[in-house]
Amino acid sequence: MGSQQLLLIVVGLITVGLAVYSGLIIMRNYYETSNRDQLISTLNDLGLLAQQHYKKPAAQGGGGGTYIRFTLPRQFRTTAAGNFSASVRAARVDFTATGKEIGRNGRTVVRVTARANQNGIRFTITN
């Protein structure tokens, strides 16, 4: 009878250990996906601001058909989700977002890029 009880305890401990490990993996995946979604949402907002600048006449403070003089708003440079930067050219703006959570490769943080031009906004998930 004692060996059966010992076997049940060992099986119970293994089961609990596997459940805890699975929970940690699920939680890590949730945080990674959530961080990536936050970055994409903020990049979408930034892309819309850039397109608004492009379409607004220069006399009203816009670009008048160019992205030149578009600047990244200060409140978007660093957020709770990550850090953002922009590379402005006449025909497009390239945004880079670096998150806070470890990404898909398991070594570096989440990273998303976006390109805004007169045709729309295109996102690329780097990690």
Residue 73 DSSP SS3:
coil
**Per-residue pLDDT reduced to its tens digit, 61-112:** 899 999 999 999 999 999 999 999 999 999 999 999 999 999 999 899 999 9
Between the CA of residue 94 and those of 46, 49, 61, 121, what are the distances in Å?
Answer: 10, 13, 21, 10
**Number of domains forming the structure of the chain:** 1
**Per-residue pLDDT reduced to its tens digit, 25-60:** 999 999 999 999 999 999 999 999 999 999 999 999
Q: Are 70 and 50 in contact (CB under 8 A)?
A: yes
| Residue 1 scores a pLDDT above 90 | no
Domain that holds residue 11: 2-125
What's the DSSP call for residue 60? G
DSSP secondary structure string for all residues of 96-127: EEEEEEE-TTSSSEEEEEEEEETTEEEEEE--
